[in-house]
Chain A
Amino acid sequence: MNLLIKGGRVIDPSQGIDETMDVLIADGVVLELGQGIAAPEGTQTIDASGLLVTPGLIDMHVHLRDPGLEYKEDIATGSRAAAAGGFTSVACMPNTSPVIDNKAVACYVVNKAKSEALVNVFPIGSITKGSKGDSLAEMGDLKEAGCVAVSDDGKPVCNSELMRRALEYAKGIGITVISHSEDLALVGEGVMNEGFVSTELGLKGIPWAAEDIAVAREVYLAEFACAPVHIAHISTAGSARIIRNAKARGVKVTCETAPHYFTLTDDAVRGYNTNAKMNPPLRGESDVAAMKAALADGTIDAIATDHAPHHPDEKDVEFNVALNGIVGLETSLPLSLKLVEEGVLDLKGLVSVMSCNPAKILGLDRGTLRVGAVGDVTVIDPAKEWQVDAAKLESKSKNSPFLGWQMKGKAVYTVVKGQVVHQA
């Protein structure tokens, strides 16, 4: 069936478009963009007047916990959460059980997604076998099976020689390397940001230097190997500065941050709130400001959620014991829209970091509404107010520090290959 999205404010940075127009999708592909498009017989029509129409949002860093940890999330529920959040594509990390370090596991994800997922699911394979940091995973096979990047996710590749070879090898086969940048010796037994709040709470701190040093290493390795690297979820002012400088001298480095890093500080940990426990940890006010500045000047290429579902039993425990991570797919868009309200980004900039750039970094033929492109579209009501309610989250897990928050802005239609997969 055809789909006509009428009279919305179309924002597509890939074509420099920001104007009110119609979008016609036929057979899952964008057929026409323009004013007053006449709908062919049997076309489903969405009245998008007063709404934003953007290329489908892409979250390049989520955890679907499938296979192996389906009690937290699975491909079906994770994709429902993605659709509810306005995401038409997600790239899922390999820290499953077993790890996505071979073709068989990657194919499992791709095939299960085909039959159960509402949105496009692109697996990310591991850099090293078992994400153990000892030897390279079969990246060629992983790519052939559908992986769009490789990453050891929550684990840094500690061995610099191995990381160098990973960058070189991945460049050869054309797959993106995503680095979780952390100096584990400096992290030690830290459970939150090192600073005044950790001192007050008597919790072991993680210094910002643990992130900065690791980001600096990746930048130098990428520069040396003349290979691209993508840094996951940066959270410190130092990381932003290092990446900004590296970009200026032509190093092929890209990076993402997550909504919580430009929304919350480590103050959120007070009361030993395990829903504010994540890795990297929530930082200080100057880091939050630095994230915004780095988004504003283009140092940060993407907003990703690091959607990390955990069972209540894994969060309803003493702080030290609680697992790291929060769910983020359903709160990312309104928290990011706030950046527009604050003047950090304009709408085009927002769509760039939430759709166009992630597509480019992962090499996806998405993130655009160009005629002939896949008909993945997100229709957003930027004024819609709503409250985050655990009972209404589509994700299987509810570990969010934003529960009860009043949000502004919501995806009202999520369209994947011309099909409406979510309507609010």
Chain B
Amino acid sequence: MGFRHKDIIALKDLTKEEIELLLDTADNLSEINQRDIKKVPTLRGKTVINLFYEASTRTRTSFEIAAKRLSADAVNITASTSSVVKGETLSDTAANILAMKPDIIVMRHSVSGAHEYLAKRVSCSVINAGDGAHEHPSQGLLDMLTMRQKFGKLAGLKVAIVGDITHSRVARSNIYGLTTMGAKVFLAGPPTMMPPGIERLGNVTVCKDMREAVDQADVVMMLRIQLERQGKTLLPSMREYSRYFGLNPTVLALAKKDAIVMHPGPINRGVELASSVADCDQSAIMKQVENGVAVRMAMLYHVCGGEPVE
């Protein structure tokens, strides 16, 4: 089967078969990243614009490398250097970018729904590199790829996602993707960070205690606490957060022996993850980053129509 979407905005929109296709493609393409000469001509002549309205190093770099390894021309635009500071609307920015005939716009935006807005207004493909607290599909896919590589499948895995679920686009994309693929998702976090109705998103289980979520888990995914966002109302202190919702060796011991620890990064060491856990053998964090390039190559490749890979 082929990939029929012009855009990749949300994992909610993708079927099991489409997710599988993207993961299979990423697996195939990851071989390119191991070569001496890490480049194939697959997207030669295609132009990818990375339009980043929010600070990001790893995602933007990962998309840029992915585009370049497929021989596409990648151009980066960041909000601080763009017309946004001069008051230009997203619609006008999009029109101007479109006039330069790109094939794909990869965008990160702080407003949920900004990609849906953009995709309706441009003829080129739009890939969501994170919108507000809505979705982060490339992160969801790279997380799933990492799990699939470790366990050979996603169906039946118990995945614990711990932290600030309310503000997490990573959590939403993982919930949609993982439950579509048949994994079981358990959420834990302070009640102030658990949004209403979350259990209905993908038939997930909300746990009061993080130990309940981690117990016998195959995957423990810790979310980043966004220190700048929590203000004074959501948490008494980082100290207390780390005590009740941080992953330390004692809590990790509740998970299955071969469980992996994941984190979308950047890590607040000592807050959501004890350093000893972040750097332990079970940590798959660097594998996630590595897989990010392959997954993003697969996404770029499929929205461009999926020409044969050399």
Residue ranges of A at the interface with B (Cβ–Cβ < 8 Å):
194-196, 198-205, 271-272, 313, 316-321
Contact = CB atoms under 8 A, between A and B. Distances in A.
A199 B109 contact: no
Interface string B193-208: 0011110110000000
Closest 8 CB pairs of A and B: A196-B197, A202-B134, A272-B113, A202-B133, A202-B112, A199-B195, A318-B111, A320-B111
Contact of A199 (B114, B135, B196): B196
B111 A321 contact: yes
Interface in B67-101: 89-91
B264 to A, nearest CB: 15
Contacts of A196: 196-197, 200
13 contacts: A195-B196, A196-B200, A201-B134, A202-B132, A203-B112, A203-B132, A203-B133, A203-B134, A204-B133, A318-B109, A318-B113, A319-B111, A320-B111
Interface in B163-190: 166, 169, 172
B198 A319 contact: no
A272 B169 CA distance: 16
B116 interface: yes
Given A198-B195, A200-B201, A272-B117, A318 B134 contact: no
Contacts of A204: 133
A318 to B, nearest CB: 4
A272 B111 CA distance: 11
Contacts of B200: 196
A272 B112 contact: yes
Given A198-B196, A202-B113, A202-B133, 5 more contacts: A196-B196, A199-B201, A316-B91, A318-B90, A319-B112
Contacts of B135: 202
A49 B304 CA distance: 64
B131 interface: yes
Given A202-B169, A202-B172, A203-B132, A318 B117 contact: yes
Interface in B225-274: none
Nearest to A320: B111
A186 to B, nearest CB: 11
Interface string B99-113: 000000000010111
Contacts of B133: 202-204
Contacts of B89: 313, 317
Interface of B: 89-91, 109, 111-114, 116-117, 131-135, 166, 169, 172, 195-198, 200-201
Contacts of A313: 89
B116 A272 contact: yes
Nearest to A317: B89
Nearest to A321: B111
Given A202-B131, A202-B169, A319 B113 contact: yes
Nearest to B134: A202
Given A199-B201, A203-B112, A317 B90 contact: yes
A319 B120 CA distance: 14
Nearest to B165: A199
Nearest to B133: A202
B201 A194 contact: no
Nearest to B132: A202
Contacts of A321: 111
Nearest to B176: A200
A199 B198 CA distance: 7
A315 B166 CA distance: 26
Nearest to B171: A202
Contacts of A319: 111-113, 117
A321 B200 CA distance: 28
Residue picked from B91, B113, B196, B200, most chain A C-beta under 10 Å: B113
Nearest to A194: B196
A321 B117 CA distance: 12
Contacts of B132: 202-203, 320
Nearest to B169: A202
Contacts of A195: 196-197
Contacts of B113: 201-203, 272, 318-319
B169 to A, nearest CB: 6
A275 B109 CA distance: 21
A283 to B, nearest CB: 13
Contacts of A201: 112-113, 134
Residue picked from A200, A318, A319, most chain B C-beta under 10 Å: A318
Contacts of B172: 200, 202
Nearest to B116: A272
A272 B117 CA distance: 8
Contacts of A198: 195-196
A397 B114 CA distance: 23
Residue picked from A194, A201, A204, A313, most chain B C-beta under 10 Å: A201
Nearest to A271: B116
Contacts of B166: 199
A201 B131 CA distance: 10
Contacts of B111: 318-321
Contacts of B117: 272, 317-319
Residue picked from A201, A202, A204, A316, most chain B C-beta under 10 Å: A202
Contacts of B112: 201-203, 272, 319-320
